[in-house]
Structure 1
Amino acid sequence: MEDEIEFIIDTAKENMEKAIDHLKKQLQNIRAGKANPAMLGSVMVEYYGAQTPLQQVANVNTPDARTISIQPFEKSLIKDIEKGIMMANLGFNPMNNGESVIINVPPLTEERRKQLTKQAKAEAEDAKIGVRNDRKSANNELKKLDISEDLLRDAENEVQELTDAHITRIDSILENKEKEIMTI
């Protein structure tokens, strides 16, 4: 019986960790003031008839805080890379110099910063909902077991502690992202 309880709690913990990992990925796509190669994570490029992630057809780096440089592995891809960036609708205007694609990352306006902060808060709230759903699933599984009320209460308390710890982590991650977005 102890093994089943432990298994349910471990599964809940694993699912809560996945929610936090997903939140971190989502927040990476929200751009803060400075250039970051992760900003182009959603860009797909037409490569020999297939949609391919930009990172698989080019080197993406940031020579300075306001510039992203994309060095394609094949020069013939420059036009496709520019098209892919425009199709991703990230608000960037790519330029090419015949060798590489260069993106100047404009500084964020105050209004845009507030929009991005709201977007980050929405992503954090989604992660919290995921963690709470994992708690609910774990508690439902625990109630299905044929165990004493004391064991059930202890297991539910452990699940609640896990939930509280993960929600605190989500709040901390959000707070850091908000600072990053609002820093000029």
Structure 2
Amino acid sequence: MAKPATRIQQKNQTAIMDAGLEVFSKYGFRGATLDQVAEAAGLSKPNLLYYFPSKDAIYTALLARLLENWLEPLHAMDDAGDPVEELLAYAQRKLVMSRDYPRESRLFANEIIQGAPHIKDVLAGELRDLVTDKSAVIARWIKAGKLRPVDPVHLIFSIWSLTQHYADFDVQVRAILGTADPFDDAAAHIDTTFRRMLTPGP
């Protein structure tokens, strides 16, 4: 049985993961170097390699943690809840993640732009299965007259696009809005947009 990590080891591992997130989200996997990660972590390169044997190992660990967190909001959508409110709550959870975890969102976006070489199996497996399951739930809600007719999968894509935009295009958004915090009004806009789209007519 492996010994539990000491406090210093835990601190260094956390520093490496945080530094890796900063560097990879800024430069992508191809553009990032171990020297950059080590410098950002405040460690020597040999010390970093004691904890992670390669750049790929750090990046893979970051993606694994990211995907677990990224899928949770969709998992949390309650099949037995009010359909409109459940979908609105999902959209708001995704928006909060863009606000609180912008580097993670950009890391994910960079991976996708590069063709998802490290997570293609997850996208075509776990993520696809989850979207298929939740799309079936949305389809049942539509059939029951609880939602306006929409394409369930493209609805989920729309929620991703509208919420993750605030993290992935943060520089553009803030350049246009100036000193205004984009998240102050984004939540209300997203609520209004999807509520109008999904609420059944009289």
* Same fold per superposition (TM over 0.5): no
Structure with bigger RCO (C-alpha 8 Å, 6+ apart): 1
Question: TM-score w.r.t. structure 2 length?
Answer: 0.28
Question: TM-score w.r.t. structure 1 length?
Answer: 0.30
The structure whose residues are more often helix, as a share, is 2
Q: Which has the larger radius of gyration?
A: 1
